């Protein structure tokens, strides 16, 4: 009997405070939608560089070489001085800031496969066309530098030119809205519990028996 009462108690509170919970959930969801709609769209372009080498050491060398050039100051400065970054330079962005943006917006991953080895160069930007151009420029820098390095083994070539991902990759509005709904529900339940406790405390002042 006491077990049934213990289970019914929380459910009764939820039912009695259902409008508070619903309004809180809807308010947080609306705030999440408003916030995500204000976030800039982020687009991603990627290029695949392939190699016919099946030697593990050469594959690791290729990946390390690509990442090394991403962090090379002279390489980045030469790229930033090209026409690809003309608009951003004209807007007053410094070379150091642009170089840091390139590092943060670029990722290089390996893609092992049966007939060789490949790396994928990804670049993210608020402008889809600029994302595609910069991804292509980065792949050319890596390809040219690799060919010019006499110590590098194997060969490398662009297998898939810069291609944009379908639609923007960020913000993930559906996922963020789901998180907002969950957060709003938890907040609504917490407020319902607080409101119930406050109500019982007020009632206890007039009738001490109601505190239980």
Q: Identify whether the C-beta of residue 152 lies closer than 8 Å to the C-beta of residue 146.
A: yes
> Quick check: 102 and 76 in contact, CB under 8 A?
yes
Distance CA 47, CA 138 (A): 9
Using CA atoms, how far apart are residues 44 and 167, in angstroms rounded to an integer? 9
**Residues 48 and 158: beta-carbon distance below 8 Å:** yes
Going from N- to C-terminal start, the domains of the chain cover: 13-38+171-211, 43-164
The CATH number, out of the four listed (3.30.1890.10, 3.40.50.720, 3.40.50.300, 3.10.450.50), of the domain defined by the range 43-164: 3.30.1890.10
Cis peptide, bond prior to residue 171, ω within 30 of zero? yes
The CB-side HSE value for 135 (13 A sphere, CA atoms) comes to 30
Distance CA 141, CA 83 (A): 14
Task: Give the integer Cα–Cα distance in Å for 107 and 161.
Answer: 16
Place of tokens 């705030």: 31
pLDDT tens by residue, 53-100: 666 666 677 777 778 877 778 888 888 888 888 888 888 888 888 888
Give CA–CA dist 143/118, Å, rounded: 12
Q: How many CB atoms lie within 10 A of CB 97?
A: 12
Q: What is the DSSP letter of 23?
A: H
- For residue 87, give the H/E element and its range: helix 86-90
Give the tokens for residue 16: 């009695």
Per residue of the chain (212 residues), give pLDDT as tens.
454 454 457 888 888 888 999 999 999 999 998 998 888 889 999 998 887 666 666 667 777 777 887 777 888 888 888 888 888 888 888 888 888 888 889 888 887 776 667 888 899 998 888 899 889 888 888 877 766 555 555 567 888 888 888 778 877 878 888 999 999 999 999 999 999 888 888 887 766 555 45
């Amino acid at each position: 009997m006491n077990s049934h009462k213990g289970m019914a108690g929380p459910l009764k509170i939820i039912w009695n405070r259902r409008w508070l919970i619903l309004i809180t959930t809807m308010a947080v969801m609306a705030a999440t939608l408003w916030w995500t709609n204000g976030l800039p769209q982020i687009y991603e372009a990627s290029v695949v560089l392939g190699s016919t080498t099946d030697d593990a050491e050469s594959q690791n060398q290729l990946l390390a070489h690509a990442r090394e050039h991403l962090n090379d100051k002279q390489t980045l400065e030469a790229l930033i001085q090209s026409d690809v970054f003309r608009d951003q330079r004209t807007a007053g962005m410094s070379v150091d800031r642009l170089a840091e943006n390139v590092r943060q917006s670029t990722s290089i991953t390996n893609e092992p496969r049966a007939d060789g080895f490949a790396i994928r160069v990804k670049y993210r930007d608020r402008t889809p066309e600029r994302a595609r151009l910069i991804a292509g420029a980065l792949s050319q820098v890596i390809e040219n530098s690799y060919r010019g390095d006499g110590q590098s083994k194997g060969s490398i070539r662009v297998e898939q030119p810069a291609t944009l991902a379908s639609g923007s990759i960020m913000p993930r509005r559906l996922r963020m809205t789901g998180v907002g709904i969950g957060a709003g529900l938890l907040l609504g339940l917490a407020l319902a519990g607080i409101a119930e406790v406050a109500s019982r405390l007020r009632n206890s002042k007039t009738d001490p028996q109601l505190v239980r």
